[in-house]
Amino acid sequence: MTSAEVPMIVRLPGSRTLTAMLLERPLDPTTWTSLTRQAGGGTRQRGRAAVEALMLGLPPEDAHKEVYVQHRMDELGRHEYLDLSALARQLREGRAPALAVVGEDAVKPKMADGMALVFTAQPVQGMVMPTALPPRSAEDAWLCPPMSLHANYSICEQLTLGRTQRVMLADEATLSRGGPSMPPIFNHISLVVNCHQDASAARPGKYRLGTAAPSVLFEPVHKLYGAQPPAVVHALRAIVEQMWAALQRGSVVVHCLAGLHRAPAVVACFYLYRHHVLGHESLPAEISEIYDVIRTIRPSVAPLGYIELIRVFERAVRAEREHTRQSRADAAAGSMHALPPVAAASVAM
118-176 pLDDT, tens digit each: 887 877 654 433 343 444 555 577 888 877 666 789 999 999 998 899 999 999 988 98
Question: What is the tens place of the pLDDT at every residue in 182-192?
Answer: 899 999 999 99
Q: What is the pLDDT of residue 335?
A: 60
For residue 121, list its beta bridge partners. 10
Which has the closest alpha carbon to 318: 273, 252, 253? 273
pLDDT band at 13 (very low <50, low <70, confident <90, very high): low
* Mean pLDDT along residues 13-24: 78
Q: What is the pLDDT of residue 229?
A: 96
pLDDT more than 70, % of the chain: 85
Please name the residues in contact with 100: beta carbons below 8 A apart, sequence gap of 6 or more: 82, 83, 86, 87
**CA max distance for the chain:** 99
CB 232: neighbour CB atoms within 10 A? 22
Q: What is the pLDDT of residue 14?
A: 66
* Long-range contacts of the stretch 289-292 (C-beta < 8 A, 24+): 291/264
Q: What is the mean pLDDT of the chain?
A: 84
pLDDT band at 39 (very low <50, low <70, confident <90, very high): very low
Rounded (10°) angle between helices 287-295 and 307-338? 120
pLDDT band at 336 (very low <50, low <70, confident <90, very high): low
| Structural domains in the chain, sorted by start | 8-123 (no CATH), 148-322 (3.90.190.10)
pLDDT band at 325 (very low <50, low <70, confident <90, very high): confident
Helix and strand counts by DSSP (H, E) for the chain: 10, 13
Return the higher-pLDDT residue of 316 and 70: 316
pTM of the model: 0.68
Q: What is the pLDDT of residue 178?
A: 79
